[in-house]
Amino acid sequence: MLLYAILFLTLGFFGLYIGAKFVIIGLENIADRLHISHIVVGLTILSIGTSLPEIAVSIMGGFDKLLGIDPNIDGIVIGNKVGSFLIQITLIIGILAVSQPIFISKWELRREGPMLFVSVLVFLFFSLDGILNQLEALLMIIIYALYLSLVIWSEKRLSKVKNKVKILEKERLNSIYFKPIKAPHPKTSIFKDIGIFMIGLIVLLIAAEITLLSAYDISQEFNIPENVIGIIIVGFGTSLPELIADLTAIRRGSFGLAIGDILGSNICDILLATGSGAIIVNFKVPIIILLFDIPILFLAISIAVYLLWSEKTMKRWEGALLIGFYTGYTILKLLFFQI
């Protein structure tokens, strides 16, 4: 039974990655046809696209609870969002920095940094009564939409002065970035693009269901609280698309794209992904997440933002520090703060 659960969990993670990849390819091709700019694609398709596993887990978790398939799925779903956020802001940024020192422009960090805190504060405020209801979920989605609109507006405003600015905090503005996107894939028919998108979406939702049910079986087999499974195991699995996408971006020298994806994806995870599930059905928020994991998350954000802000560069030893921080958190979580 346990072996099957682990096998299906691995299959679920693989399906989440493949499904998200197909959805992103389909959307990129469609964006190419509609002549949408790189910046809009980067801020929507990339940041939301790499968060599709978390969104799918939330939506399928909402339906599972609504239909009575698993009435106690709350811990895995909510834990997944907090865990994914924490893993990305510490472990994944740490791995990227250890692989190669990275930097991010301060103008971007001034915008995304405060929003990281705001998004977690919004989640915390709505969760203080132990429940995320449908109204609160709707408000979270609206807040994310407003944030995304603000980001797109600020990037377009920046594009208007790109010719007057030669250097912006060590990063040269690339005029291509503001031109319509050209998808990196051969041009296909619109029906094929939509077909790729739909296939990816179906795979994504099925994989999310497999992941949820397998994670629940593992939690029952080992008698581990569902929030722990959601935070540590499912959180890591759904963060794999960000790790793979950002390692690829780092190898190509796109440092800002990699870190920007992580910051934007975290905000998407805690607001849009959580709201997408809670708008279907109310989710209970485990008290231990509010008392232990959220304070740790605030501390992790503070450390990561400080390290990125200082000299605008994160060195290898600072990346190792973030990895050590996550390792220490995991040990404390498993030993003392499961319930």
Say yes or no to pLDDT of 171 above 70.
no
d(CA 259, CA 254): 9
What proportions of the chain, in percent to the nearest 5, are helix, strand and coil?
A: 80, 5, 15
pLDDT, one tens digit per residue, over 217-251 is 888 777 888 888 888 888 888 887 777 777 766 66
pLDDT, one tens digit per residue, over 84-121 is 899 989 998 898 888 877 777 677 777 788 999 999 99
131: phi then psi, degrees, rounded to nearest 5? -140, 135
How would CATH label the architecture of 2-336? Up-down Bundle (1.20)
Q: What's the number of CA atoms in the CB half-sphere (13 Å) around residue 154?
A: 12
The confidence band for 145, taking pLDDT boundaries of 50, 70 and 90, is very high
The three-class DSSP label of residue 314 is strand
d(CA 294, CA 283): 17
Confidence (pLDDT) at 109: 77
Q: Where are the domains of the chain?
A: 2-336
Name the pTM for this structure.
Answer: 0.82
CB burial of 214-244 (b: ≥16 within 10 Å; e: otherwise) equals bbbbbbeeeebbbbbbbbbbbbbbbbbbbbe
Confidence (pLDDT) at 168: 42
Which residue type sits at 123?
Answer: F
187: phi then psi, degrees, rounded to nearest 5? -70, 135
d(CA 278, CA 130): 13
Confidence (pLDDT) at 6: 80
The confidence band for 186, taking pLDDT boundaries of 50, 70 and 90, is low
